[in-house]
Amino acid sequence: MNLKKLVFTIVTACVLAAFQPTANADLVGFLKKSFGPPPIQLDAAPTPAKSVTVDSFKQLKTCKKVVITAFNVQFITKKDGGSHAGSAGEGAAYVNSHIKLLGLDTATFQAITDQTYTNFTKGLQSLGLDVMPYTEYAALPDYADMKSHFKTSPMEVSGGMFSGEPSELFSPSGMPVVLFGDEMALSKGNSMTAYIGMSAPFTKEAVIAKATGVAAVHVYLVVDFCQMEANGGTFSFSAKMTTKPQISISKVSRCSFFFDDSMYNGGREFVKMKNNAFGADEYVSDFVDVTTTGQKTGDAVVNVIGVLGGTGNTYKNTYYEATANPGLYQAACVKYLTTVQDLMLGGIKAKMAK
């Protein structure tokens, strides 16, 4: 870091410190608008108005029967994150953290998915909707046309938004994995075929919904297992990564309804998360830094001081392992997934009441 940058940093800090209270309030308001809504704390009685965005759902006032045609729950079990401090070429510090979740098996993920699906079905019924059994929907003649697009649960996922690390996607027992091309935590290759061909689910289900009058409901939920916070930047003296095992439901989770095949006139409507939703329940029995010593820690830090003025950079990689208690993990996931679903359904209910 050179003298010019250091002076700029000091001057900026002084200017911000000199702000009057009213100016500070304006700054906070500006930052909220710039960076979006805050994370959702699932143990703090969040409201639908602050947690989800909802389309009009006007057609749900007259459509009293629905069928859940896709219910996908994606479990993240490995993540990477990184931060840096200083400028490259002047002596920068880079820190990277890697964590994986251990102690869970397919049976646990399947049980979570099945229970969450049951709870969501009850939630739809609480809105006064008749829920068609999936087996009845699967018996429709047009259903067979879509089968070539279905995936088997669990489906291994490579790539996507979570550092490109592998994960698994589950559907309820007896149901296939059905994709619609808007699953944000999947790689494009996983969901590309959802749009291709007249028998693709995105196209075919809309036609079936219009013909039968039964709205098709799709649910996509992403369960993250830890929070990774990066601190640093060009004008910082240290780069820090904080890694904390914590259940969260990703903001890319969403629920959509197909009412008919008019995609641009209310035929498909969404309810989505406004931000990531975090829960406080503990689920980890052991959390260690396995890079060298096996110490119990969650912070990785590299300082710029010591390399300032040089031309080289310094790097630090830290590897963690979090071992889950299966019972606690399952209970926490079902609890928070159901809370998120209830927020979505609560948002829909509020729209229906208008």
**Residue type at position 55:** D
Q: Judge whether residue 2 has pLDDT over 60.
A: no
Mean pLDDT of 284-292: 87
Task: Write down the pLDDT at residue 301.
Answer: 56
For the cut 80, the answer to whether the pLDDT of residue 341 exceeds it is yes
More confident of the two residues 2 and 47? 47
Percentage above 90 pLDDT, the chain: 45
Q: Between 37 and 304, where is the model more confident? A: 37
pLDDT of residue 204: 81
Which tens digits make up the pLDDT trace of 80-106? 888 877 776 566 778 888 899 999 999
pLDDT digits (tens, 9 = 90+) for 231-276: 877 767 777 888 889 999 999 999 999 887 665 456 888 999 999 9
What average pLDDT does the segment 205-226 reach? 91
pLDDT single digits (tens) 138-185? 999 888 888 888 889 998 887 666 656 778 999 999 999 988 877 877
